[in-house]
């Protein structure tokens, strides 16, 4: 028997990208997220699953302080990214949201050209010193999002004139353009047909080489296809989290088992 510890593995298991501790979220008097602890691994895909209303989107939004934009919403507990508390008053939410990008359910390109959709973030964050550098960011973001070949000859056309699947990949390219470290996706394929969905899933699989991805999905097949780890939420509680394979084949909690076998949800 080999007694040597596997340091590489130990390292990847202990250095979480995101550490959430005793997180509570309230909307007025409604306690929507209860005591959630989770460690999210870097450069991998974590899926959040669970029945409608269980708090998946609410918890996802705590990870880049999107809940700050909802008046009645209050977040307690601690969320650290690379060891830094993102709720610290020193943290600028605008900078945070560049580091922790977000892609929504419905593709929401700006009513601007394809080029300007991508260039928008780098411009406001001052990421390029010249037109040539900005062109380079636009091209490489579209390449990383697997969209370059489809749009390279129509960068001046409006982003809203693309197909739904292309628009969603444009939104992913737009998130990538500001060099985020984490990308949050809230049901990014729910408005897409199966072919566009497959493309976005392929893209997510490629992106995990360089980004930490958290995806909310209603599709257990999708969670199984794209994620390495899965977290199951129920009534605001994180019931269990683990390797996706284990969650789907050998869940520990009866509630998880009932959900994945379709007994509720
Ligand atoms: N802006 C809001 N104001 C008040 N209550 C809210 C708000 N957003 C969510 N809630 C409540 O918080 C709870 C969790 O909602 P959330 O949207 O996070 O669930 P979800 O798991 O994402 O559901 P779905 O799968 O339907 O998207 C629900 O009871 C919901 O009604
Ligand atoms: Mg939701």
Q: Please tell me if the CB atom of residue 26 comes closer than 6 angstroms to any atom of ligand 1.
A: no
For the question of whether the overall pTM of this predicted structure is more than 0.75, the answer is yes
pLDDT at 7 over 60: no
* Confidence band, pLDDT 50/70/90 cuts, at residue 105: very high
The domain containing residue 254 runs over which residues? 17-109+182-260
Within-domain flag for 115: no
Question: 210: CA distance to ligand 1 center in Å?
Answer: 30
Residue whose CA lies nearest to ligand 1 atom number 8: 58
Within-domain flag for 136: no
Residue whose CA lies nearest to ligand 1 atom number 31: 53
Of all atoms in ligand 1, which is nearest to the CA of residue 51? 25
pLDDT at 34 over 80: yes
Question: 57: CA distance to ligand 1 center in Å?
Answer: 7
Q: Please tell me if the CB atom of residue 69 comes closer than 6 angstroms to any atom of ligand 1.
A: no
Q: Please tell me if the CB atom of residue 27 comes closer than 6 angstroms to any atom of ligand 1.
A: yes
Within-domain flag for 4: no
Within-domain flag for 231: yes
Of all atoms in ligand 1, which is nearest to the CA of residue 50? 21
Within-domain flag for 144: no
pLDDT, tens digit (0-9, with 9 covering 90-100), for 111-144? 999 999 999 999 999 999 999 999 999 999 999 9
* Count: domains in the chain: 1
Within-domain flag for 254: yes
Question: 101: CA distance to ligand 2 center in Å?
Answer: 17
Instruction: Please give the pLDDT value at position 262.
Output: 87
Within-domain flag for 9: no
Instruction: Please give the pLDDT value at position 44.
Output: 97
Q: Please tell me if the CB atom of residue 25 comes closer than 6 angstroms to any atom of ligand 1.
A: no
- The residue behind tokens 């072919």 is 195
Q: Which has the higher per-residue pLDDT, 265 or 57?
A: 57
Within-domain flag for 167: no
Question: Per the structure block, which two tokens stand in for 203?
Answer: 């893209």
Residue whose CA lies nearest to ligand 1 atom number 16: 55
Residue whose CA lies nearest to ligand 1 atom number 7: 27
- Checking DSSP bridges between strand 30-40 and strand 212-216, what pairing results, if any? unpaired
Q: Yes or no: say if 197 and 189 are a contact pair by the CB < 8 Å rule.
A: yes
pLDDT, tens digit (0-9, with 9 covering 90-100), for 58-69? 999 999 999 999
**CATH classification of the domain holding 191:** 3.40.50.300
Q: Please tell me if the CB atom of residue 53 comes closer than 6 angstroms to any atom of ligand 1.
A: yes
pLDDT at 265 over 50: yes
- The residue behind tokens 């870097």 is 42
Q: What is the 3-state secondary structure (H, E, C) of the chain?
A: CCCCCCHHHHHHHHCCCEEEEEEEEEECCEEEEEEEEEEECCCCEEEEECCCCCCHHHHHHHCCCHHHHCCCEEEEEEEEECCEECCCCCCCHHHHHHHEEEECCCCCCCCCEHHHHHHHHHHHCCCCCCHHHHHHHHHHHHHHCCCHHHHCCCCCCEHHHCCHHHHHHHHHHHHHCCCCCEEEEECCCCCCCHHHHHHHHHHHHHHCCCCEEEEECCCHHHHHHHCCEEEEEECCEEEEEEEHHHHHHCCCCHHHHHHHCCCCC
């Amino acid at each position: 028997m080999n007694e040597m510890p596997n340091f590489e593995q130990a390292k990847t298991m202990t250095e979480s990208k995101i550490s959430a501790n005793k997180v509570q979220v309230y909307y007025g008097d409604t306690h929507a997220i209860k005591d959630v602890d989770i460690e999210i691994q870097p450069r991998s895909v974590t899926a959040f699953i669970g029945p409608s209303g269980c708090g998946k989107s609410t918890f996802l939004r705590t990870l880049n302080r999107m809940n700050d934009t909802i008046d009645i919403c209050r977040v307690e507990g601690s969320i650290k990214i690379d060891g830094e508390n993102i709720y610290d008053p020193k943290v600028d939410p605008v900078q945070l949201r560049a580091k922790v990008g977000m892609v929504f359910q419905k593709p929401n390109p700006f009513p601007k050209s394809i080029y300007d959709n991508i260039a928008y973030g780098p411009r406001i964050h001052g990421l390029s010193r010249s037109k040539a550098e900005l062109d380079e960011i636009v091209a490489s973001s579209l390449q990383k999002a697997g969209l370059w070949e489809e749009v390279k000859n129509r960068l001046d056309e409006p982003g809203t004139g693309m197909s739904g699947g292309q628009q969603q990949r444009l939104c992913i390219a737009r998130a990538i353009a500001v060099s985020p470290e984490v990308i949050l996706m809230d049901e990014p394929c729910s408005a897409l047909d199966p072919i566009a969905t497959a493309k976005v899933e392929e893209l997510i699989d490629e992106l995990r080489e360089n980004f930490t991805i958290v995806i909310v999905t209603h599709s257990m097949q999708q969670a199984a296809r794209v994620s390495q780890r899965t977290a199951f939420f129920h009534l605001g509680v994180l019931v269990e989290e683990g390797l996706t394979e284990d969650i789907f084949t050998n869940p520990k909690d009866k509630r998880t088992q009932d959900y994945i076998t379709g007994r509720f949800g």
